[in-house]
Structure 1
Amino acid sequence: MAFTKRAAEIWRDFTDALNPLTGVWQPAKAEIRAWGLEIENQLGQLLGDSGDSLFTRVTTLEGWRQPLAGRAFVHADTDPKGGASASLPRGHTALSGARLPGRVTSVLSDPDGFAHQAFARGEFPVSGRRFPGSRYAYVRTDPEGFASRVQRADDGGFDDFRRPPFGTKLVHILNYGQSLSLGWYSSPILTTAALANCYSFSGGNRADDAGGTYAANRASLIPFKESAGPSPNYETPMGGALQCVMQLAAAYGATFGDRGQFLLGSSAGAANQTVAQLSPGVVNYERARNDIFYGVARAAENGWSYSLPAIIWEQGEADIDAGTSPKIYVTQREALRAYTENYYWSVAGRSNPVHMVSYQVSTHNFYGKAPDIALAQLDQAMRHPLHILTTPTYFLPYSDTVHLTNVGSKTLGAYQGKALAALDRGEKFLPLYPTSVRRLGRVVFVKFHVPVPPLVFDITTITDPNGAKGFELWELDTSIPISSVSIVGGDTVVIKAGADLSDIVEVRYADAAPAGYVPGTTSPNAGSRGNLHDSDPFVFDPSGVNARLWNWCVIFRKGLD
C-alpha cells in the first residue's frame, strides 16, 4: 500500500515546493490523520490476528469498483489470506475473489452502490445503534464488538459512545413489585405463543410458581411465554415489555435475532407489599436475588455474556395505603435499586448501571389519599438519572379497583418496554410532564415536555372528569374555578380561571376525586384522571392488543416558575 503523502511532505516548512521563502507551513490535520491511519492499516496487516483487536481497521479500496447490491453495510467473509469469499446479508454476491487490504470483514458501499471502504480486524458493531449525524468512516470497538469510538467521515472528528446497556448476549429484565407485577386478575393469558429470542427460567416467568427450590425452578432457560400460575396469577406486564422491546428494536433497524442477542424475562414480586417489605433482608427479596444469581449462571453455562440493565418496578399502592411519607418512599426505593445493582456487579463481574423503570401509581382515590406517592415517583424520575417514569395508569382498563385486565397488564408492560427500548438506544425516556407554569392575570400557561407533538385532549378514551380535562387550580386549600382549557402551539395548555389569581396559584392534574366519585372504584371513567396525551403514532402488537401507545400526562402539582 502506497502512502498518500510522506511525513516529510506533510511537515515541510514552506507552502510552495519551489519557494522555501514562503515561510513555515502549518500541517493540515486531515493529512496527518490520513497518514496515521495508513500506518495503522499497514501495521494491522503485518500483525495479523495477534495485533490490537480493539481497532476496527478501515481502508479505502484504492479505486476498486466492485458493484454491490444495495447501498448499506455489506458484510463479507474472507478466506485465510484475506480474499473475499462471501458477503451478507440479503443475498449479496461474493466480491469476485478480489484481494482486499487486511482481513476484511465488512464493506461499505457508496451512494452509487460501489465499495469504497472496508472494515477489518474487528467486528462491525452489533448493538443495533443508529449513530446520529454524518456517516462514520472509522469505528473502534470494545472486546465484544460494540462501538465505543467513531470517527466522522466529514470532518475527521471523533465521537465516543458508552457501551449500550443491552450490550451482552443475554440481557435480563427483572420485573419486581407487588400484585401488578404478578398479573393478578389479568386473565385469561394473552401471550400464549413463545416470543422469539426471549427466555424465561424453567419454572416460568414467575419461576417460583413451579413450587420447587430456587435452584430447581431456575435450572435451565426455556422460550418465554406467559402462563397461569396459582390463582390469581395470570398475564404479567413482562410479556408486553419484552414484545415491545423486540418490536421497537426491529423498527429501529436491527432485530435481536440479527444482533445475536436474547432477552431473559423474570417476575419476582409479592402481593400487597410496601417498599420496605420488598427490600433486601426480607424473604420477598430472595426471589429477585435468585433470579439474578441464576441468570448469571445460566448465561455462563451457555458461554454467553450477561447484563441486567433494568428493573421494572410495579409498586406503590401498598405505600399509599400504609401512609408512607414521600421522602421515605424514594429513599427506600433508591436503596433497593442500589443494593440490587451492587449485588449484580458482584455476581456478574460487570459495572453497568441498573435502571429502575416504573409506572406512576394512579389509584390514590381508591385509598382516599392524596397522590403523594405518585408525585414522589415523578420527582425521583426527574432528579435521578437511573429512575425512569413511563406512564400513569389512569387510562388503562381495570379488572377491579386496583388490578388491571389482561389487556391492561400487557399494555402497561408495553409502556415499560418503550422505555427499555430507549435505554437500548442509549437514551433516557421522559414522559409527558410540565416544564413551566406562568400566569398573566387570570390566564395560566402550562408548557410541557411533549415526546411526540402536538398535545391532544382525548375525551373518547377517557371521559372528562371535571369539565377541565383533569386540570385544577388551587391556592393553598382553596379550589379556583376554571372557565376553559385549550391547547396552543402543540406543547402548551392555556387555563382560564373563573376568578382572580395570585402568584401562589398551583396547577394540579389528575389529582382530586371528581364530583360524584364512588369510593373504591378505578377506571378510565372513574376516579382522578385527565384527557391529555401526545401524538405518538406507535401501535404496539397490531395483530393482538393493537394498543396505541400515546404518552399520557403524568399526575402532577406545579406552582408558578
Structure 2
Amino acid sequence: MELKNFFSQDHEGNITPDATCYLYQRGSENLVAGLQSVNGQPLSNPFTSDANGLVQLAAPNGLYDVRVVTGNRDYRLHIQFNDVNETVDAAVAAASRAEQARDAAQLWSGISANTAEGLNKTPLNGYFSVPSPESTEYLILYQNVANVAVEVKRYPSSEAVNRALTGAIRSYATLALMQADTTQEDGTSAVVTHDPDEAKNGWYLFSKPDGIWNRSANQTASAARVEAIEKQISTRKRPRSKSGKAPFVLTVGDKVLPFATAQKIPRSKLITAPGAVMMLGDTPVPPVIVRKRPRGPGGYGDVVIVSNRSVLMSSDAGPNKQTLARLAALEEQAAQSKPLQYLPSPPTWLAYVTTVNNKSQIMVHDGATYRQATSADANWFAPQVGPFNFISCLSDKSGSIERYTLMPSGFKVKNMAVILHKIITGQSLGLGSRGYILRADGRYEFTPGVFGDLFTEVTPVGFEQTCFSLAGGPRPAGWESSTDYVPLHEYASGVSGETIASSYATKLRTWLGQYTAIDPKILVSVSALGGVPYASLKKGTTVYQNALSQATAAKAIAVSKGLQYIIPSISIIHGESQINTTQAQYVAILAEWVGDYRTDLVAISGQEVAPIGLVSQMLTGETGTIPAIPLAQLQAHEENPNLSLIGPKYAYPYFDTYHMLAEGYVKIAEIEGRAEHFWLAGKKWQPLKPVSVVAAGNKLTVKFNNLPDGGAEYAGPVGRLAFDTNKITNPGNFGFELTGATITSVALGADGASVVITTASALAGGEVLTYALQSAMSQPQNGNGRRGNLRDTDRRDRSRFDYQYLYNWSVAFSKTISL
C-alpha cells in the first residue's frame, strides 16, 4: 500500500482545515475499503484532513477518485496508488517465468542419439539432449564444455508424471492383489477395500528397498465401523435431566435444551395465546401484528422490515429494487476494475500551441489533419490530451486565466462552471407514463406509499449537488418565475411516474466525472403530451414553445450563477400515435423536428455547436404505424448526421400496449447517457444493426456491426452476439421472419458478429428478411409482442436499476434479399 499526502484547498488555493474526504473507486460512488493512516492503523472512509489541511492516507494499489468537501467547494482528484514493493514482486515472478522459458528452449535445442553424436554436432558451450535409459525419465540435458558432455538436468517421462499425478494412491480389492504388485515407487500409498478378512482392509505404504507393503499405524474408520457407532445412538440413551422427559432430546455440551410447551408461558399482557413463545432475556417478544406496519413503498406483506423510513423487506414483495441494487453494488465493490479492453486507450490526438493574429491558439491533429480547435476571441494554451481525446487547457476567455476542456464534439467548456441541459419531448413515454414498479400481486393503481413504487423517489446519493431539474421536477411547473434549480428526483402525477431524467443524468455525470475534469452540473426537463402525433408537438405548438421557455428560464438561472449553459441533446420519444404515416414521411418529420429545435435552442443558449437528437425505436404502435415508423427511425439514424437511434425498447417490461414500467425508463435513459458521452467525444452512437445480408444457396448470413473484441472507445455494440431467451421469450426463430421462404434454423455465426439462417430450399432473390416486426403481435413482454432475442454481450456498464449489464439489443429491420 502506498502512502499519499496532499492539502485540501478552497477555490483560491488557500489551505482549508478539517475538510471531509472520500476515496471512491474510479468513476463510481463506491467507497474504497481497507484504508490506513500514516501509522498503519485502519482509516475510516470518509475521513477528514487535519487542522493544517493535510490529508494523509494509504490504500491498495489501484485507480481512485478523491472527493474533497470543504466549505462551499466540492471537488474531485484522480489519483493512483502503486506500491513499489508489490511491483518488484511482479517483476520477480516475470523473471521466474523467463527462466522456465529458457529451460524449455535449452531442452528443445537439439536431441541426439547419444553423447558422442551430441558433442559432434553441438558448438562449444552449446546444449543438446540425449534420451534417458530410465523408464521414469525422458531426456538428459547436456552442455558441450571443452568437448566434454556435462550433465545439466534430467526431465521426467510421461510415465513418471502419470505416476506422480495418479499413481501415488492405489486401490486393491484384496491384500493378496496388493502384495503381488511390487512395481511401485517408494512411498506409494494404497488402500485395500474388500478383503474377506476385515482386519486386512485399510491403508498401506510401499517400501521399495524391502519390496513390501507396510500397514499404516493410523487407520480411518470404515463404513462398517461408522455404522456400528451409529447403532449405539438410540432414543433409549439420552442425557439425564429433569427437563429431558421426551424420547428425543436436544443438547449443547452437557446441557439439555428443553422444548417450549403449551402449559407454561411467560406472563405478559402482550401474549395471551398458548404455544411456543420467543423470549429476549426475560421479555417475551410479541408476534408481528399485520394491522400495523410502517407506511412506505414496497411494504405490502404481513411482515415488513424497515430501516428508518425505507422499507427493506416485505413478506410478499421481497427486497425492493433499490435495495437489491445497493446490496449488489456493495458485494461487487471489491471487483469494480473493468477488463482491460473496457478501459480507455491512450489518446490518439496531438495538440500544440501556435500564434494566430496575435492570439495563442491550440492546434490539434485528429488522425487526419491539423486544425484549429480554439476560438480567436481569447488566448488558449497548455493543452493536455486525455482519455477519449478530451483536451484540458487554460484560457483567458472569461477575463481571467481559467481551466477549460475542449471536447472532440467542438464544445469549449469551462471546468467546474458549466451546466448541461437535456430537453425531452414526445408523447406519454416522454412523461414517464406508468413508469413505476408494480406490487407483487400485480395491482397497478398508483397511490404513493400504498400501491406501485417509483425507483428514484429521492435524489441519488452523491448527486445532490450535480443533478437538477427546474421547479416542479422533471415535468416542471412554474418554471418561468423560478430563480434556482432543484435537486433531481422523480415524482408521481396521475399515471405518470419515473421518467428517463434521473437515470440519464446520473449516467452522463458519472462518465464525465470519471474521464474528464469538467465536473459539470446536469439539468433535465420534459415538455411532452401523451397520445398525439407530430402535428401537436411541432414548432408553433404549446409543447414546443414550453420547451423553448424552459431553456430560456434555465439559461437565465445559469447566468445568475455564473455558469456556462449548454444544451447537448434533445430526446424525442414518439411514434405510437403517428398512424398512417409512410416511412418517407416520418423520416422527413424527424429531420424537420430536430432541425427546428437545433436552430431555436442555439438562438437561446448561444452555444457554438447545435444539440443532437436522440431517438429510441418503438414497436408498439397500431397497424397504421408498423413497420413504417420503426423503419423510419432506423433510416433517419443512417441518413441524418444530427440524429442518433440508441436502440429498441422491446427488451423492457411494459405495463400495457404502449407504456413501459420503471425498468424500461431507467435503462433506455442509461443507454441515452452512453450515446451522449460518445457524441460529446465526437462519435455518433450506433445501435446493434445489420451491415450486410449475403445469400448462398439455402443459407443467409446476416453480418452485424458489433465488435466481438471491442473496447471502451467503440461507439457501438461490443462483445459476441447472443440469443437471450431468459430476458425475452422466444417468439419463434429468435424474432427473424422471411417472406417467400421457410426458415428451418437460426444460429449464431462462428465469428461472433453474424447470424446464419438456413431455409428449406435455395433462395431465389426477392425474399424479405425482417426482425422484431411480427405483424400479428403488438405488446412486448406479454407473450405475443413484437420482439427478438438478439443482443451483444457489452459489459462496459451496469444498470442502477438491478445492477445487470446494459446490453445492446438489435433494432427491428427489414432487408430485401438480392443475389
TM-score of the pair, normalised by structure 2: 0.48
User: Could you report, residue by residue, the CA deviation over 1:365-391 in whole angstroms, capped at 9, with x for unpaired residues?
Assistant: x54653110000001101111111111
Give 1:428 deviation, angstroms. 1.4
Equivalent residue in structure 2 for 1:346, among 603, 627, 632: 603
Of stretches 398-407 and 329-338 in structure 1, the one that deviates more from structure 2 is 329-338
AA in 1 matched with 2:736: F
User: Could you report, residue by residue, the CA deviation over 1:447-482 in whole angstroms, capped at 9, with x for unpaired residues?
Assistant: 00011120001111111112x1111122xxx4x210
Equivalent residue in structure 2 for 1:167, among 413, 416, 422: 413
Cα distance between partner residues in 2 of 1:170 and 1:403: 31
SS in 1 for 2:744: strand
Partner of 1:192: 457
Give 1:537 deviation, angstroms. 1.2
**Structure 2 residue 672 is matched with structure 1 residue 419:** no
Give 1:151 deviation, angstroms. 8.0
Aligned residue runs from structure 1 range 269-280, under 5 A: 269-280=528-539
Equivalent residue in structure 1 for 2:719, among 440, 453, 457: 453
Cα distance between partner residues in 1 of 2:542 and 2:22: 50
User: Could you report, residue by residue, the CA deviation over 1:121-179 in whole angstroms, capped at 9, with x for unpaired residues?
Assistant: xxxxxxxx978446968574857999997689xxxxxxx96455583601001111100
**Structure 2 residue 751 is matched with structure 1 residue 487:** no
Larger Rg: 2
Cα distance between partner residues in 2 of 1:146 and 1:456: 48
**Structure 2 residue 383 is matched with structure 1 residue 383:** no
Q: In structure 2, do the counterparts of structure 1 residues 368 and 512 end up closer, same or farther at CA, with 3 Å as the change threshold?
A: farther
Is the CA contact 1:166–1:424 (under 8 Å) kept in the aligned structure 2? no
**Structure 2 residue 482 is matched with structure 1 residue 236:** no
Is the CA contact 1:486–1:495 (under 8 Å) kept in the aligned structure 2? yes
Give 1:343 deviation, angstroms. 1.2
Q: In structure 2, do the counterparts of structure 1 residues 379 and 146 end up closer, same or farther at CA, with 3 Å as the change threshold?
A: farther
Q: Greater helix share, 1 or 2?
A: 1
Of stretches 261-270 and 241-250 in structure 1, the one that deviates more from structure 2 is 241-250
Is the CA contact 1:453–1:534 (under 8 Å) kept in the aligned structure 2? yes
Aligned residue runs from structure 1 range 289-304, under 5 A: 289-304=548-563
Partner of 1:512: 774
Give 1:357 deviation, angstroms. 0.6
Cα distance between partner residues in 1 of 2:660 and 2:574: 13
Give 1:239 deviation, angstroms. 1.6
Give 1:356 deviation, angstroms. 0.7
AA in 1 matched with 2:572: W
Is the CA contact 1:75–1:89 (under 8 Å) kept in the aligned structure 2? no
Equivalent residue in structure 2 for 1:462, among 698, 703, 728: 728
Partner of 1:22: none
Give 1:336 deviation, angstroms. 1.9
Is the CA contact 1:146–1:167 (under 8 Å) kept in the aligned structure 2? no
Note the residue ranges of structure 1 that are not aligned, 5 or more in a row.
Answer: 1-67, 95-105, 114-128, 153-159
Is the CA contact 1:147–1:161 (under 8 Å) kept in the aligned structure 2? no
User: Could you report, residue by residue, the CA deviation over 1:217-258 in whole angstroms, capped at 9, with x for unpaired residues?
Assistant: x442111111112x11211111221122233335x434xxx6
Give 1:203 deviation, angstroms. 2.0
Is the CA contact 2:675–2:684 (under 8 Å) kept in the aligned structure 1? yes
Cα distance between partner residues in 1 of 2:511 and 2:744: 41
Is the CA contact 1:462–1:524 (under 8 Å) kept in the aligned structure 2? no
The count of aligned residue pairs is: 436
**Structure 2 residue 568 is matched with structure 1 residue 309:** yes
SS in 2 for 1:438: strand
RMSD of aligned residue pairs (Cα, Å)? 4.0
Is the CA contact 1:510–1:530 (under 8 Å) kept in the aligned structure 2? yes
Is the CA contact 2:425–2:570 (under 8 Å) kept in the aligned structure 1? yes
AA in 1 matched with 2:487: P
Is the CA contact 1:540–1:548 (under 8 Å) kept in the aligned structure 2? yes
Q: In structure 2, do the counterparts of structure 1 residues 513 and 547 end up closer, same or farther at CA, with 3 Å as the change threshold?
A: farther
Partner of 1:328: 585
Cα distance between partner residues in 2 of 1:161 and 1:521: 41
SS in 1 for 2:704: strand
Partner of 1:247: 510
Cα distance between partner residues in 1 of 2:459 and 2:78: 35
Aligned residue runs from structure 1 range 143-154, under 5 A: none
Q: In structure 2, do the counterparts of structure 1 residues 434 and 223 end up closer, same or farther at CA, with 3 Å as the change threshold?
A: same
AA in 2 matched with 1:199: F
Is the CA contact 1:433–1:553 (under 8 Å) kept in the aligned structure 2? yes
Partner of 1:337: 594
Cα distance between partner residues in 2 of 1:419 and 1:223: 24
**Structure 2 residue 577 is matched with structure 1 residue 318:** yes
Partner of 1:436: 692
User: Could you report, residue by residue, the CA deviation over 1:299-344 in whole angstroms, capped at 9, with x for unpaired residues?
Assistant: 111111111110011111111xx21122222212221211111112
Q: In structure 2, do the counterparts of structure 1 residues 343 and 370 end up closer, same or farther at CA, with 3 Å as the change threshold?
A: closer
Give 1:266 deviation, angstroms. 0.6
Kindly, what percent of the aligned residue pairs are identical?
26
SS in 2 for 1:340: helix
AA in 2 matched with 1:495: I
Q: In structure 2, do the counterparts of structure 1 residues 411 and 373 end up closer, same or farther at CA, with 3 Å as the change threshold?
A: same
Cα distance between partner residues in 2 of 1:540 and 1:428: 21
Give 1:89 deviation, angstroms. 12
Equivalent residue in structure 1 for 2:486, among 213, 222, 227: 222
SS in 2 for 1:528: coil
Q: In structure 2, do the counterparts of structure 1 residues 89 and 247 end up closer, same or farther at CA, with 3 Å as the change threshold?
A: closer
SS in 1 for 2:543: helix
Cα distance between partner residues in 2 of 1:428 and 1:408: 23
Aligned residue runs from structure 1 range 337-376, under 5 A: 337-364=594-621, 366-367=622-623, 369-376=625-632
Is the CA contact 2:421–2:524 (under 8 Å) kept in the aligned structure 1? yes
Q: In structure 2, do the counterparts of structure 1 residues 445 and 75 end up closer, same or farther at CA, with 3 Å as the change threshold?
A: farther
Equivalent residue in structure 2 for 1:533, among 780, 787, 791: 791
Q: In structure 2, do the counterparts of structure 1 residues 205 and 323 end up closer, same or farther at CA, with 3 Å as the change threshold?
A: same
Aligned residue runs from structure 1 range 58-69, under 5 A: none
SS in 2 for 1:194: coil
Cα distance between partner residues in 1 of 2:509 and 2:804: 16
Is the CA contact 2:423–2:527 (under 8 Å) kept in the aligned structure 1? yes
**Structure 2 residue 760 is matched with structure 1 residue 498:** yes
Cα distance between partner residues in 2 of 1:422 and 1:280: 28
Partner of 1:205: 474
Q: In structure 2, do the counterparts of structure 1 residues 379 and 148 end up closer, same or farther at CA, with 3 Å as the change threshold?
A: farther
Is the CA contact 1:317–1:363 (under 8 Å) kept in the aligned structure 2? yes
Cα distance between partner residues in 2 of 1:130 and 1:534: 20
Cα distance between partner residues in 1 of 2:409 and 2:565: 14
Partner of 1:395: 651
* Greater RCO (Cα-Cα under 8 Å, separation 6 or more): 1
Cα distance between partner residues in 2 of 1:385 and 1:554: 18
SS in 1 for 2:693: strand
Cα distance between partner residues in 2 of 1:509 and 1:75: 58
Q: In structure 2, do the counterparts of structure 1 residues 389 and 441 end up closer, same or farther at CA, with 3 Å as the change threshold?
A: same
Q: In structure 2, do the counterparts of structure 1 residues 444 and 263 end up closer, same or farther at CA, with 3 Å as the change threshold?
A: same
Cα distance between partner residues in 1 of 2:664 and 2:385: 45
Cα distance between partner residues in 1 of 2:699 and 2:755: 10
Give 1:505 deviation, angstroms. 2.4
Give 1:397 deviation, angstroms. 0.3
Is the CA contact 1:185–1:404 (under 8 Å) kept in the aligned structure 2? yes
